[in-house]
Amino acid sequence: MYCAICESSNQAEFTTEMVIHFSGLKNIDQPGVVVFPKVLVCLDCGSSRFTIPGIDLALLAARNTRTEASTKQGSVGASQYAIAP
């Protein structure tokens, strides 16, 4: 496989651990989802790509559905916050 950016074949796969957080103030109190994808890194330009494994993807989808449902039920939205200068 060649790098999509620089077309180098000098790539390596690494095991990773990452925490994905849902964005926005409405999700500030929500815990992140820990996933363990393998990352393919181009050792020439640094371009990286990964795919979330199926079981982790299902967990993300389920957590996202719950987050969206709680927002629709009257959670405080970003527009309701005042930011002091």
- Tens of pLDDT, residue by residue over 12-69, are 999 999 998 888 888 888 888 899 999 999 999 999 999 888 888 888 888 877 666 5
The CA–CA distances, whole Å, from 75 to 4, 23, 25, 59 equal: 41, 14, 10, 22
The alpha carbon of 18 is separated from its chain's Cα centroid by a whole number of angstroms, namely 8
Domain that holds residue 32: 11-74
Task: Assess contact for 13 and 38: CB atoms under 8 A.
Answer: yes
> Helices (H), strands (E): how many in the chain?
1, 5
**The pLDDT value given to residue 21:** 87
Structural domain includes residue 36? yes
| Length of the chain, in residues | 85
The whole model's pTM is what? Answer: 0.61
Domain count along the chain: 1
Structural domain includes residue 79? no
- pLDDT of 3 strictly over 60: yes
